[in-house]
Amino acid sequence: MDTSFDLKSLRERVQRWKSAGLTVALVPTMGNLHEGHISLLSRAREIADRTVVSIFVNPIQFGKGEDYENYPSTLDDDLNKLERAGLDLLFAPNLSELYPAGTEEDTRVTVPALSDILCGEYRPGHFSGVATVVIKLLTNVQPDYALFGEKDYQQVQVIRRMVRDLLVPTEIVAMPIIREADGLAMSSRNSYLDSEQRDTAALIFQTLTAAAALVREQSRALADIEAEATRTLAAAGMRPEYFSVRRQDDLLPAGAGDQNLIVLVAAWLGSARLIDNIRVDLDRPIKD
């Protein structure tokens, strides 16, 4: 496994691959890797000739008071995992090179509407920060494929829209959520949980599963299902930001005539903000 710390060496390596007719897949990460990340790399190795993983904790996607300064860093362990997984190239960019005008003045990319709902409502500017760093990575790696986990479903949709609108010739590949044995979605922020909170966190997936079953039955109003789920999480000591049934394609609220849905949740448990989702594909559209 090779490592590039600057854009020049990254571009040179990728260009040699491209000149040889090889395809390239990119897996962007912020480090503190878990099996969810490794599943992305495993799929990348299946679909492309060469693989690149980036590790960069992107400051402009964190809001004031969020955990940028404390985001877990496990670089040595990450390197061991990537080596064992058969990575070709690790890209660990320099902050000043990636943001030449500085993080306050550098150009930003914004995907309208889709970035302002759900997580975007509670984390203003977050998805602009995500879109900006991703387009920088795509521009410099020029991958044939870029892989992202569906735990961050809204993020995937924002990136898909950006790539489509900006005519970027990279295929965005979304991969299924990897879960712990009790259903908790794997996340770097799970490390913030103490043992008691960790047990409680399993309720998120249980509540999602129960809500999804009710949505499939179409026996109750969606608003009632959302409200009951929110109360369940709050009663367990969580601080839900949203629990919402949406359309899969544009994340607008689900309603009559919709059939391909997704149930999404964001909730605080102690100092950890946890997100998760589950798809619901109905046999028949929602009734009036």
Q: What is the pLDDT along the chain (288 residues), one digit of tens a residue?
A: 999 999 999 999 999 999 999 999 999 999 999 999 999 999 999 999 999 999 999 999 999 889 999 998 999 999 999 999 999 999 999 999 999 999 999 999 999 999 999 999 999 999 999 999 999 999 999 999 999 999 999 999 999 999 999 999 999 999 999 999 999 999 999 999 999 999 999 999 999 999 999 999 999 999 999 999 999 999 999 999 999 999 999 999 999 999 999 999 999 999 999 999 999 999 999 987
Judge contact between 86 and 45, C-beta under 8 A: yes
Q: Quick check: pTM over 0.85?
A: yes
Residues 30 and 169 in one domain: yes
Task: Tell me: do 203 and 149 sit in the same domain.
Answer: no
Based on the fold, state whether residues 192 and 169 are members of the same structural domain: no
How many residues are there in the chain?
A: 288
Picking from 129, 151, 175, the residue at the C-terminal end of a domain is: 175
| Tally of domains within the chain | 2
Tell me whether residue 181 is in a domain. Answer: no
Shared domain check, 153 and 22: yes
Are 148 and 192 part of one and the same domain?
A: no
Same domain, 158 and 200: no
Q: Are residues 141 and 171 in the same domain?
A: yes
37 is catalytic: yes
Residues 26 and 114 in one domain: yes
Q: Which of 175, 204, 232 is at the close of a domain?
A: 175
Are residues 17 and 159 both part of a single domain? yes
Buried b (16+ CB within 10 A) or exposed e, 27-48: bbbbbbbbebbbbbbbbbbeeb
Lookup result for tokens 């249980």: 206
The catalytic residue among 17, 25, 34, 37 is: 37
- Residue 288 falls inside a structural domain: no
> Residues 6 or more apart from 245 whose CB is under 8 A from it?
211, 215, 222, 225, 226, 253, 254, 261, 262, 263, 280
> What residues make up the domain containing 140?
2-175
